[in-house]
Amino acid sequence: MEYASQREASVDLLSFAPCTPPPGAVERHWHIALPANGRSLPSRVLRNAGRFVRGVPPLIDRLAGFESQIAAALQGQRYDVIFVEHFWLGPYVDLLQGFADRVICDLRAEPWPGRMAHQRFARLSEQLERQFLPRYSSALVTSERDAERVTTLAPGLAVTVYPNTIPWRPLPEAGRERIVVFSGNLEYHPNQQAVAWFARAMWPALQKSEPNLRWRLVGMNPEAVMGSVSGLDRVEMTGAVEDAFAEIARGAVAVVPLLAGSGTRVKILEAWAAGTPVVSTRIGAEGLPGRDGEHYLLADSTADFLAAIRRVLQDETLSTRLRTSGRLLYEETFHRSAAWQQLDKSRILGD
C-alpha cells in the first residue's frame, strides 16, 4: 500500500482487520468485520478440531465465506492490479479476477507452526496452493528459498523476491545494558518453544557465569510463557510496548533460539537495525542473506548457543563487527525504500 501510494498510484484498501491507513495512502477503504470467536483455550481447541475433521486450514477457514461482501465493495471498480495479502485469502482469486487485469498474491507470511496436530493443515495448505497459485498473475515471497518452493508448486508463475522490511530507523545512540533480549509475540507457538528451550537449557547456566546479566522478553502476551520462566531470576517481561526497536537497542545481544517456523524473522531485522548483535539457530536465520560470524552467530545445540552468547558478551571486537555488519545489511537491503527497488525492477505495478 505504502509502496504503491509513493509511486503515485491510486490505492483502495479492503481489510478484514480494523486499521487506519496513513493519511493520503488510500482513496477508498472498506472494512469487512469478522464475527467474534471465543479466545479461550477450549474454544480454540474445539474450532481447530472441527477444521481438522473438515480438512480446512484454520486461517483459510476463518476468512472464508465473504464473497458477497467483497463483490459488493468492489462493484463498479476496475483495477490494474489487486494485491492479495497472504495465501489465507488465496481462494478468492477467481472472484477478484473479475475486477482487475492482474491479481498478485503476497506470500510473505509465516504459516502455522509444524506441530503434529498441524501436519494435516500443512498438507491441505499445500494442496490449495497447487490449486490456486497458478491462477495468479505473480507472487511475492521473502527469500530465494521460498521462490524455489513456489516455483515447484506453480511452474510458470512469475515470482518476485521482496524481503520483509521495517521502516527506516537511525542507529540508536543509547548505551547498551547487560541484557539478553528476545522479542516477538509470545503467543506464537515457535516463540513459546524458543523461550522454553532457552529458559530450561541456557538461562540457568548464564545466570551462574554472568551474575549481572538480565534476560528481557519483549512482546505481547507474556502470560503465554509464564510457565516456562516461573522461578527463574533476573527475567524481565515488558508485555506489549510502544517501540520494540528501542527495547532491542538496549540489549547486549539479541537471541533467536527458534526451533520451528518459516519466512524471515523481523526480530533479526530489528536487531540489525538497532545495531544489536544476534545469536540465532539456523532455522531462526533461515531465508536471510547474512553470513555466520559476520552478521550473526549461528548455533543449534545448547552448548554452541551458550558459547556464542558468551563470545558476544566477552569479545568486544566480535560484538562490534556483528553490530556494524548487521546494521549495514539493514541499510542496504531491509528497510522499505531499499526493498522497493526490487519491486521497481519487476514492474509490479506495470509500466
**Domain assignment of residue 193, yes or no:** yes
Residues 6+ apart with CB under 8 A from 174: 246, 249, 250
Q: Do 52 and 186 sit in the same domain of this protein?
A: no
Q: Do 204 and 235 sit in the same domain of this protein?
A: yes
Beta-bridge partners for 84: 105
**Domain assignment of residue 25, yes or no:** yes
Domain total for the chain? 2
Q: Is 235 within 8 Å of 262 (Cβ atoms)? A: no
Q: Do 119 and 198 sit in the same domain of this protein?
A: no
Instruction: Note down the domain range covering 244.
Output: 179-334
- E strand map for 195-252: 214-218, 235-239
Q: Do 185 and 209 sit in the same domain of this protein?
A: yes
Contacts 24+ apart (CB under 8 A), 289-292: 289/329, 289/333, 290/325, 290/326, 290/329
Give the per-residue pLDDT at 59: 80
Percent of the chain with pLDDT over 90: 53
More confident residue, 246 or 264: 246
User: Can you give the CATH number for the domain in which 207 is found?
Assistant: 3.40.50.2000
**Domain assignment of residue 173, yes or no:** no
Give the per-residue pLDDT at 117: 44
Q: Do 340 and 329 sit in the same domain of this protein?
A: no
- Grid cell, residue 168, equals 527506516
How much is the average pLDDT of 72-79? 94
Q: Is the dihedral of CA 160, 166, 170, 175 positive or negative?
A: negative
Q: State the DSSP H helix or E strand holding residue 129, giving kind and residue range, or none if neither.
A: helix 119-132
pLDDT band for position 19 (50/70/90)?
confident
The one-letter amino acid code at 173 reads E
More confident residue, 93 or 120: 93
Q: Is 135 within 8 Å of 100 (Cβ atoms)? A: no
How much is the average pLDDT of 254-278? 89
- Grid cell, residue 13, equals 484498501
User: Alpha-carbon distance 344 to 330, whole Å?
Assistant: 19
User: Alpha-carbon distance 74 to 108, whole Å?
Assistant: 24
**Domain assignment of residue 142, yes or no:** yes
Residue 214 CB burial class (10 angstroms; 0-12, 13-18, ≥19)? middle
Query: According to the per-residue pLDDT averaged within each range, which of 16-30, 42-56, 172-186 is highest?
Result: 172-186
Q: Do 197 and 262 sit in the same domain of this protein?
A: yes
Q: Do 341 and 315 sit in the same domain of this protein?
A: no
Q: Do 136 and 235 sit in the same domain of this protein?
A: no
- Whole-model pTM: value is 0.74
